[in-house]
Structure 1
Amino acid sequence: MNFLQLITVAAGLSGVLLLLWAAFSGPSPDKESTRRLKSVRLRHSADGKDRLEAQMRRAVAARKPKGHHIAGSGSRTEALALRLDRSGKKWTIKQYLYGSVGLGGAIALLLFLKTGALFLALAFGAFVGAGLPHMVLNFFVKKRTNAFTIKFADAIDLLVRGLRSGLPVSETLTIVSQEVPGPVGEEFKLVTDRMKVGKTMEDALQETADRLGISEFNFFCITLAIQRETGGNLAETLANLSDVLRKRAQMKLKIRAMSSESKASAYIVGSLPFIVTIMIYWVNPKYIGEFMVDERLMVAGMGGAIWMGIGAFIMAKMVSFEI
């Protein structure tokens, strides 16, 4: 082993040790003591703003006690059931798994009968059977989330009008569940149903927030929790929240318009290898056909597909923005 190899091994071991130390070192004692001192200062401060900030922190912390269980964090089966529920479809886990296995098996069988390459057929069938249903489910989840976000600001405006007319919060939630169509009305209907069987409004809203995983609805729950803790005009607070959500939606649309050119470039660059492969196979099938019989070319093709997937993932992250 020469000197360059020794330096490479030492650098790799140092990087692994550094990652292990960062993973298991835990929080910094200085930062923890600073945080505790700040909380005590805010709690006993004579300034009204500091006391209000301390109350808001306690209200947000009280929403999720130490024993709180995050929806979908138990197992992969629970996470899959949660994603199926978020899609709004009446699909069960068995139906999803049977569909994935059936699709993968059909694709693998057709490819094996066409090419005779068992390894390639099984690999491609497993890829399609696992990836295509996942993409379809993500599409429906994103579609329902967008539909919920679009109508949620209107639902908050309806809540504000009900509160200003003198109705209690529970009655305004029932009105929203009846008047607002789509996913918003369905979710508020579930909230009111939980309240009818004896759950508090905070618990019913928290269960819905954990199941949906939508930041706008989390803002709504935090607003109600802070208002319960600090008091004040709930209608005015919700009106401000509605205005913030509308501006947030406008910012998302502006970012989508500004990043559309980069997304189009990423789509073109990512699809070019597949388009070229199909065109070459159409002109000269024997040239591309070697990838389906030669195991070395299969491995090389799979390696290229993996690197292409990594590149597509990086490009997708570069053009995605969080607000």
Structure 2
Amino acid sequence: MTRLVGIAAASAAVAALVVPGLALGQGKAPKLADSPSSAFPDRAYLLQLPERRALTASGVTVTENGGSVSGLAVIPPGGAATGAVLLIDASNSMRGAPLQGAMAAARAFLKERKANMPLSVVIFGPDDTVLADFTTDAGQLAASVAETPATSEGTHIYDALIEATESITSQGLRRATVVLLSDGTDVGSGTSLAEAQEALAVTNTRVYSVGLRSPQYAPDTLQAVARRSGGRYAEAARPAELKAIFTEIGADLASEYEVTYRSLLPPQVNAAVSVAVSGLPAAKARYTTPALAISSGGTFDRSWLDSVIVSPYLAVFIVVSVIALLGMALFSGIDARNRSLRHRMAQYVSVPTEEEGRMRRAEVTAMLADRAQRRIEGHRWFQAFERDVELGGFKYSPMGIVGWTLIAAIITSLVVTIVFQSLLGLLAGLFVPLVTRFIVKRRVSAKRKAFREQLPDNLEVLAGALRAGHSLVGAMNVMVEGATEPFKSEFLRVLQDEQLGIPLDDALMVMSRRMDNLDVEQVSIVTRLQREAGGNTAEVLDRVVDNIRGRMELQRLVQVLTAQGRIARYILTAIPVFLLAFFLLVNAPWLEPLWETTIGNIAMVLWVIMLVGGWFAIKKIVEIEV
């Protein structure tokens, strides 16, 4: 029995010596992943070796489906073409042990990095702070992470990633790796995940994201960034675990080689890639070669341009263009007399610069606009339109909008005439001003509606400020400070008018007309009574607020009861238009009598009149003023 035990022990000892030797001889398998710069037929892979070692193209064998490749090259880690960025979250949630652990992890990363790999160290919160720009100086990098930085409010992860890609681009790196550490999700970025991902893809940058668990931690952001950029995600439960994670990442980057070659496979083939390094098992990867972008020419098809050229309606466009050019030439000749002597002489004695030409064009444009505006500003319709444009907050002037509307009307008329080959298409331009007017009215109505919704709440603030001892003007200032747009800007106009000497009640009446709001007239009357007779203005404002809220409830009730009619207005108007478009697409010749015969033309005009009339008739029925 003792002899058997001895034999077993000896066998176990021999096995213990042999098995590690076999494992050592086989070696740990390397990892193979697509490089961000990979394409076809020029392929690029990132080869991750299990340990640091010198590697050249002669020590690597690459095959695709068992066949050879051409142009094999091995690019070692580091150098001027690649780099890394450390992005460390310095928001308030990282204060204390988490940020100290992060800086310790950064120091561990520096110990493992490749000496010739440019590295940048950046901390981020609401803003980015570059502790060390791209450099290989070990002393400068060590000094940048020696101390724990201050924290601030906000975690702008997406903004920090875009800033990192911009620095990568300015450095001229062909590809890069961002090591991102945060204990939360993105809060407050001015950019989105899609924008950050696009910037990473353009610069061939991947992200190794590291999450540190905290009460506000959500891994979705970090996981999405890593997954979509071709990187990987790691998570630490405690700050002490960060050091090991960063050490591993630094070691991986220091032993990562880029293998490039040209594939010899045909299109649309499943490729099995094998990368073998002497002394190590082969690394495997798969991809599918893309299809060639070759489109068949097909049979000859006459270009649509031919039909346009031979169309008689093209003459309409040519005539209008010639008239416009002649008018412009005539106007230029008349306007030449108004030029100053210096500008006229400069054309003969010197060559005007581009800047002078640009300024002159702007000057002429402004004079034309002023001259045209002086001709029509006396008309009441333009005054109302000008007021609506200003109230709607458009960036163009009223004359600018009118000018663009006229241009759009002319283009619309010509396009419709050419497409339908009928002179009735010239009438299509008449609808463009209606569309412009609708857009302006829509924006003004939206602004007035928002003002109406904000009025009662802000009047309550005004009443509260009066009870607190403020004067009426002082209470309005308190109200305006806490208000939002458009209420704030409108009441600022009232306060500015009051400072210019206009009575407060008159300024409120002006705002009432601007906002088309009768409730503001009540406030104007209250201010006049307070100025002339005094009294408890706060209590009166409370009654006004009650009346306003009651009217708003009644308006909402009317909106609900008339909803069916409003929907019917849109449906009944859209059905004939959609039917006309449908028949034009399915069987256009069937509708030719409508615009080729006199009776058809009359029917089309009556159809348009009845369609527009029905729209306004239903609109008049369902829009009840309260």
TM-score normalized by the length of structure 1 = 0.72
In structure 2, what residue type is equivalent to 1:284?
A: N
1:220 corresponds, among 523, 527, 530, to: 523
CA shift, 1:248, in A, is: 1.4
Matched, 1:88 2:393: yes
2:590 is aligned to 287
Tell me the alpha carbon deviations over residues 157-194 of structure 1, each in whole angstroms, 9 at most, x when there is no partner. Answer: 11001000000001111122221011110011111112
Cα separation, 2, equivalents of 1:74 and 1:223? 35
2:382 is matched with 77
Deviation at 1:321, TM superposition (A): 1.0
Q: Which residue of 2 aligns with 1:172?
A: 475
Counterpart mapping for 1:124-203 below 5 A: 124-126=428-430, 128-203=431-506
1:315 and 2:618 aligned: yes
1:195 positional shift: 1.7
**Cα deviations across residues 263-309 of structure 1 (Å, max 9, x unaligned)?**
22232222221122222222211112333333442232011210222
1:251 to 547, 554, 570: 554
What secondary structure sits across from 2:470 in the alignment? coil
Counterparts in 2 of 1:229 and 1:288: CA distance versus 1, 3 Å: farther
224-233 vs 182-191, greater mean Cα deviation: 224-233
Of residues 417, 423, 435 in structure 2, which corresponds to 1:112?
A: 417
The residue number in structure 2 matching 1:306 is 609
Alignment CA distance shift 1:73-1:262 (3 Å): farther
The CA distance in 1 between the partners of 2:553 and 2:403, in whole Å, is 41
Structure 2 unaligned segments of length 5 or more: list them.
1-376
What code does the residue aligned with 2:402 have? L
- Paired residue secondary structure (1:284): helix
Residues 184 and 225 of structure 1: CA distance in aligned 2, closer, same or farther (over 3 Å): same
Give the aligned length.
250
Query: Following the alignment from structure 2 to structure 1, what is the Cα–Cα distance between the partners of residues 599 and 547?
Result: 57
C-alpha distance in 2, partners of 1:316/1:73?
31
Identity %: 20
1:50: which partner in 2?
A: none
Q: CA-to-partner distance for each residue in 1:209-247, whole Å, 9 max, x for gaps?
A: 233322222232133234445543110010111121112
Residue of structure 2 equivalent to 1:103: 408
Letter in 2 for 1:79: A
Partner of residue 331, structure 2: none
CA distance in 2, matches of 1:242, 1:74: 38
Q: Distance in 2 between matches of 1:261 and 1:129?
A: 28
Preserved CA contact (<8 Å) 1:266 1:312? yes
CA distance in 2, matches of 1:288, 1:159: 63
1:118-162 Cα distance to aligned partner (Å, 9 max, x none) = 2x1221112x22110011011101100111011111110110010
Matches for 1:233-244 after TM superposition, within 5 Å:
233-244=536-547
2:447 and 2:486 in contact (8 A); partners too: yes
1:276 aligns with 2:276: no
Tell me: CA distance 1:287–1:131, structure 2 relative to 1, closer, same or farther (3 Å): same
- Which residue number in structure 2 is paired with residue 66 of structure 1? none
Q: What is the Cα deviation at residue 74 of structure 1? A: 6.9
The separation in 1 between residues aligned to 2:427 and 2:378, in whole angstroms, is: 29
CA contact 2:417–2:425 (8 Å) conserved in 1: yes
Q: From the superposition, tell whether residues 230 and 195 of structure 1 become closer, same or farther in structure 2 (CA, over 3 Å).
A: closer
- 1:121 paired to 2:421: no
For the Cα contact (< 8 Å) 1:177–1:187, is it kept in 2? no
Please list every run of 5 or more consecutive structure 1 residues that lacks an aligned counterpart in the other structure.
Answer: 1-71
- Secondary structure of the 2:390 match is helix
Alignment TM-score, normalising by the size of structure 2: 0.38
CA distance in structure 1 between the partners assigned to 2:396 and 2:459 by the alignment:
30
Q: Distance in 2 between matches of 1:90 and 1:261?
A: 36
Match in the other structure for 1:64: none
Larger deviation, residues 308-317 vs 87-96: 87-96
- Relative to structure 1, is the Cα distance of residues 147 and 304 closer, same or farther in structure 2, using a 3 angstrom cutoff? same
Q: Aligned AA for 1:116?
A: Q
| Distance in 1 of aligned mates of 2:395 and 2:519 | 24
CA shift for structure 1 position 251:
1.5
**For residues 115 and 267 of structure 1, what CA distance do their matches in structure 2 show?**
26
- The CA distance in 2 between the partners of 1:191 and 1:74, in whole Å, is 27
In the aligned structure 2, how far is the partner of 1:281 from the partner of 1:230?
Answer: 71
How far did residue 114 of structure 1 move? 1.0
Q: In structure 2, do the counterparts of structure 1 residues 74 and 217 end up closer, same or farther at CA, with 3 Å as the change threshold?
A: farther
Give, as a single letter, the amino acid of the residue that structure 2 aligns with 1:208: M
1:5-84 → structure 2 map (5 Å cutoff): 75-84=380-389
CA contact (8 A) 2:562 2:622 kept: yes
Structure with larger Rg = 2
